[in-house]
Amino acid sequence: MTINLALVGNPNSGKTTLFNQLTGSNQKVGNFPGVTVEKKEGPVKGHKGVRAIDLPGIYSLSPYTSEEIVTRDFLIDEKPAAIINIVDATNIERNLYLTLQLMELETPMVIALNMMDEMRNNNIFVDLIRLQEELSIPVIPISASRNEGIHDLIHAALEVADQKLKPKKIDFCTGHVHNAIHAISHLIANEADASGLPLRYSATKLVEGDPLVMARLKVKEPERDIIEHIVEDMEEHLNTDREAAMADMRYAFIEGRCSPAVEKTGESLEQRRSIKIDSILTHKHLAIPIFLGVMFFVFWLTFGPVGTFLSDGLSFFIDGFIAFVDGALSSSGANPALQSLIIDGVFAGVGSVLSFLPIIAVLFLLLSILEDSGYMSRIAFVMDKLLRKLGLSGRSIVPMLIGFGCSVPAIMATRTLPSQRDRYMTTMLIPFMSCSAKLPIYAMFTAVFFEKNEALVMLSLYVTGIVVAILYALLLKVTIFSGKPVPFVMVLPNYRMPAAKSVLLRMWENVMGFVRKAFTVIFIATIVIWLLQSFDFGLNLVDNSDESMLAFFGRIVAPIFAPLGFGDWQSATALLTGLMAKEAVVSTFAVLTGASSSAALSAALTAMFTPVSAFAFLVFSLLYMPCIATLAAIKREMGGMKAALLVLTAQTLIAWLVAFLIYSLGSLLV
């Protein structure tokens, strides 16, 4: 029998770090059924039959976002054996707001009081016994980043799960809120029992006006009228609205019963340090230039001394392996066609992509450090004002930042945005963000044509994508998406030293995703490309690829790209295969040029491109229609293929115009 432990907590409470400590790298990532909100689950190390489920970070159980809805539906419908509520020890009062709501679900529960090391450094003292008595829930001090207290936490969680120890019912409401909750509780007792919802939870949600709970309870119209009269009477006496009344009630309990268990001797060390750092990094005029400087340094390390050294080393071994296999096949008298398929097709295509694996690893390592340190949250805060001028909600920055990793989960993340206007507009801008799948293209061309200015060229590509997205957003704002965006609220965490294990695991997930794509999509693409460029329409093996089926199709498309400086059929074909996966552009060039080594590929590209046309090609690759997986995500989020095709057609047209301007101006200047 599997014991499921649900990890629930506020964003930035250390929930994911704890999950990584519990499961290591043995975890499964997927979406909740029917929605594109991600969940992670994996077996707890050292405890057979025990699984941890990492639920989305939330601030409450109110149905404002997809994360909140799927988290509470999972807790109610899936009925985990126990809830592990992760609470930030440096900000207990705010985190306990969610705790009080979780207690109403009547599920066995323990509190993981995380970041105890920071709490001690910040001169904060918690009376654990008193806090545990007030909440009637086991409170286990831990430091997830240092792997401290994890054993005690699992032991406590399994104990409450085994004994089915539900939180004691605490009546933390008073006055008119108390009267409203208890009056509604008596009114809906039968409905709550029939629906399987806890009575106290149901009553508080009806006071808040939760439409999903109202529908699930199947409350009849007469009872609905009575409930509304009860709530209106409460609002009239308290002179506030229903949601504010419930929030005030919970915070009053926290202030009166829980806060005395927490002693703060003054402003914490972490807070003082964060304020000092923020005075520079979030400065009104310096924030964006500093951010660009940070990203330039990241790209310099990635495509400069560190990434290039590692990539060249891996390329050396790959080229040596290909040469060894080629020699072995020749000496064994293998069929020439089969040898060409293996060497010129599979090895050249997949090997050319894999040679950029170290660059992907270094980039994601650095980005994970920035994210775990708390800096990326500051960028979201800094960019909020700019985004609002573009007609976007500040919330849009989160999926747009995800877009620098991959457009598919970024587009999925737009479901967290509260309005359809914001969701659609953000979805249309995300493909302009430079996803990691395009990195092999950038790395290949910058190494050949811009060796002395690789970091600068890389930064210019990312900035170009952002600038084009800004101009496109301004156009959308005054045309099809007129109106005001929804307000943005975000809690900024203190700056922290990133946990090495968490950073490395995140890097490992991205690297393995890249490797899986190389041996699936890219593998199949290289075989198809080799077949098309090796045979004519009579299925005869050709001596010259110019006579192949692929050359025929490439020549049909090539004239479209001639004004951009790359009108040959090989470049056109590479861009077409890039619709399957952007990395396929690199493998296509490797197969079409017959380059069995990095040096041979560089020589072939130099013959095909000038520095100006190479940069125009990079810009077009950055901006044109994304891969098929992204197309499917856009179709799903925007409600149909027609809308998705219109979006992608407009994007490709923009890519052509920008690349044309760059090539035309560049040709005049050079």
Q: What are the pLDDT digits (tens) for 507-545? A: 887 777 767 766 776 677 778 777 877 788 887 877 776
Compute the Cα dihedral for 609, 610, 611, 616 and give only its sign.
negative
Please say whether the structural domain 175-264 has been given the CATH code 3.30.70.2740.
Answer: no
Is the per-residue pLDDT at 30 higher than 60? Answer: no
**pLDDT value for 36:** 41
**pLDDT value for 31:** 43
Burial per residue of 45-62, b for 16 or more beta-carbon CB atoms within 10 angstroms, e otherwise: eebeebbbbbbbbbbbbb
**pLDDT value for 360:** 73
Tell me if 153 sits within 8 A of 142, measured CB to CB: yes
In the structure, what pLDDT confidence band is assigned to residue 32 with cuts at 50, 70 and 90?
Answer: very low
Q: What is the mean pLDDT of residues 51-66?
A: 82
Specify the higher pLDDT residue, 284 or 166: 166
**What residues contact 162, with CB distance under 8 A and at least 6 apart?**
none
Cα angle value 453/455/460 (rounded, 5°): 95
Q: Is 363 helix (H, G, I), strand (E, B) or coil?
A: helix
Tell me if 126 sits within 8 A of 119, measured CB to CB: yes
**pLDDT value for 34:** 41
In the structure, what pLDDT confidence band is assigned to residue 321 with cuts at 50, 70 and 90?
Answer: confident
φ, ψ of residue 335 in degrees (nearest 5): -55, 130
What's the pTM value of the predicted model, to 2 decimals?
0.63
Tell me if 180 sits within 8 A of 234, measured CB to CB: yes
Give pLDDT tens digits for 202-251: 998 998 888 888 888 888 888 889 999 998 998 888 888 888 888 888 88
Give pLDDT tens digits for 397-453: 767 776 776 776 677 667 666 567 778 888 888 888 888 778 888 888 888 888 888
Give pLDDT tens digits for 478-499: 887 776 665 555 666 778 788 7
CA 305 to chain CA mean position, Å: 28
Give pLDDT tens digits for 621-638: 999 887 776 777 788 778
Specify the higher pLDDT residue, 94 or 33: 94
Give pLDDT tens digits for 344-396: 667 766 776 677 678 778 877 887 888 788 887 787 777 777 777 777 766 67
Pick 3-163's CATH classification: 3.60.15.10, 3.40.50.300, 3.30.460.10, 1.25.10.10: 3.40.50.300
* Cα end-to-end span (Å), the chain: 71
Is the per-residue pLDDT at 662 higher than 70? Answer: yes
Measured between alpha carbons, how far is 291 from 295 in angstroms, rounded to an integer? 6
Name the residue among 459, 247, 287, 280 with its Cα closest to residue 363.
Answer: 459
Is the per-residue pLDDT at 35 higher than 70? Answer: no
Annotated domain spans of the chain: 3-163, 175-264, 289-486+500-669
In the structure, what pLDDT confidence band is assigned to residue 157 with cuts at 50, 70 and 90?
Answer: very high
